[in-house]
C-alpha cells in the first residue's frame, strides 16, 4: 500500500482515479490546486500529477517535489501531446504515461513506483 497524493483538478477523472487506487489498497489524497501540494505531500510515497491541462504550470508546481529526496512521481498526459511527455521526463518525473494507461492501470503503476528504492 502506498500513500499517494494526486494533483488532478478534473474531479470526474480524479474520483475514478481515487476509486481505482483505493481498490488496489492505496491511501489517496486528491488535491485540485497546485498550492495544496506542499502540505499534502508530507509522508507520502507517490505523487501523481495530471498534465492534460496547463502542463507547463503543473510541471513547474511539481518541480520542487521531484528528485532523490522526494516521493516517487508519476505524471500523465494527453496522448496527442508528446512534447508534454518530453517536458515531464526532463523535469524529473520518475514515470510519465498517457492518460489512457493511467485510467487502465493506476493501481499497478503506483505499486510499481512505491516498490522502487531510491
Query: What is the reported pLDDT for 35?
Result: 83
Confidence of residue 14 (pLDDT cuts 50, 70, 90): very high
Mean pLDDT of all residues belonging to the chain: 93
Q: Using alpha carbons, list the distances in angstroms from residue 42 to 7, 34, 83, 105, 106.
A: 14, 15, 30, 25, 21
Q: Are 44 and 38 in contact (CB under 8 A)?
A: no
Q: Are 73 and 31 in contact (CB under 8 A)?
A: no
The whole model's pTM is what?
A: 0.94
Residue 43 is classified by DSSP as T
Q: Are 63 and 55 in contact (CB under 8 A)?
A: no
**pLDDT tens across 72-110, in order?**
999 999 988 889 999 999 999 999 999 999 999 999 999
Give the number of other Cβ atoms within 10 Å of residue 38's Cβ.
12
Amino acid at each position: 500500500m502506498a500513500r499517494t497524493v494526486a494533483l488532478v483538478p478534473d474531479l470526474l477523472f480524479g474520483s475514478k482515479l481515487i476509486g481505482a487506487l483505493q481498490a488496489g489498497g492505496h491511501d489517496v489524497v486528491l488535491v485540485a490546486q497546485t498550492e495544496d501540494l506542499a502540505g499534502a505531500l508530507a509522508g507520502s510515497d507517490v505523487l501523481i500529477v495530471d498534465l492534460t491541462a496547463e502542463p507547463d504550470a503543473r510541471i513547474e508546481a511539481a518541480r520542487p517535489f521531484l528528485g532523490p529526496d522526494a516521493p516517487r512521481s508519476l505524471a500523465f498526459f494527453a496522448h496527442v501531446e508528446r512534447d508534454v511527455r518530453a517536458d515531464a521526463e526532463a523535469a524529473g518525473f520518475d514515470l510519465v504515461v498517457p492518460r489512457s494507461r493511467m485510467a487502465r492501470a493506476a493501481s499497478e503503476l503506483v505499486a510499481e513506483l512505491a516498490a522502487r528504492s531510491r
